[in-house]
């Protein structure tokens, strides 16, 4: 083989090898289930509330649950909160609860935020982001809706409006 042929054979082999490695990585990551998948049981967690008590997700079985991941500095999170509070007030007597999961902020700032927006649903502190990672949360706000058996009915990234939240809550309650 002359130099030019060897050069092209090497190039083609490198491209093929890179493609195989890329495909193998893609398959490995695609097969790995992460977070809360629709139709599956939500991963259990135990976090401290703003009142210093412990909230365990599995203790809420028998209720439809909206788990909302947020932060005080997040404008879409702030804008979404009144709608979540409104739906919570309407459905809390129908076996529905909201769990607001604050991501990595101090209790003082979270309490001030909750007081300012008049939020009275349970808020827990994910100080080390363990639950956020467990649920594979990327952008916030992010919400996970669970039926009364603790199975994931819907996952929603981004800000929601009140009608959308209410529809998802009804879907969770009807299962």
Residue 126 lies in a domain: yes
In this structure, the answer to whether residues 101 and 22 fall within a common structural domain is no
User: What whole-number distance in Å separates Cα of residue 77 and Cα of residue 71?
Assistant: 7
Residues 133 and 87 occupy one common structural domain: yes
pLDDT at 29 (0 to 100): 43
Q: In this predicted structure, what is the pLDDT of residue 139?
A: 94
- The answer to whether residues 90 and 146 belong to one domain is yes
Q: How far apart are CA 20 and CA 2, in angstroms?
A: 27
Whether residue 61 contacts residue 150, with contact meaning beta carbons closer than 8 Å, is answered with yes
What total of structural domains would you count in the chain?
Answer: 2
Q: Check whether residue 65 and residue 141 sit in a common domain.
A: yes
**pLDDT 10s digit of each residue in the chain, 175 long?**
788 888 887 888 776 665 555 555 555 444 444 578 999 999 999 999 999 999 999 999 999 999 999 999 999 999 999 999 999 999 999 999 999 999 999 999 999 999 999 999 999 999 999 999 999 999 999 999 999 999 999 999 999 999 999 999 999 999 8
Answer whether residue 19 is part of any domain.
yes
Q: Encode burial over 36-64: b for 16+ CB neighbours within 10 A, e otherwise.
A: beeeeebbebebeebeeeebebeebeebb
């Amino acid at each position: 083989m002359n130099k030019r042929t060897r050069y092209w054979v090497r190039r083609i082999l490198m491209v093929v090898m890179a493609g195989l490695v890329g495909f193998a990585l893609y398959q490995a990551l695609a097969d790995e289930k992460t977070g809360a998948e629709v139709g599956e049981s939500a991963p259990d967690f135990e976090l401290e509330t703003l009142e210093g008590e412990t909230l365990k997700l599995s203790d809420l079985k028998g209720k439809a649950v909206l788990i909302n991941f947020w932060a005080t500095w997040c404008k879409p999170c702030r804008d979404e909160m009144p709608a979540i509070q409104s739906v919570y007030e309407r459905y809390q007597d129908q076996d529905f609860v909201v769990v607001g999961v604050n991501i990595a902020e101090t209790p003082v700032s979270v309490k001030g935020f909750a007081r300012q927006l008049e939020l009275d649903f349970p808020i827990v502190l994910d100080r080390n982001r363990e639950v956020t990672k467990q649920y594979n949360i990327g952008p916030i706000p992010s919400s996970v809706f669970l039926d009364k058996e603790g199975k994931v009915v819907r996952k929603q990234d981004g800000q929601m409006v009140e009608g959308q939240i209410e529809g998802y809550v009804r879907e969770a309650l009807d299962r």
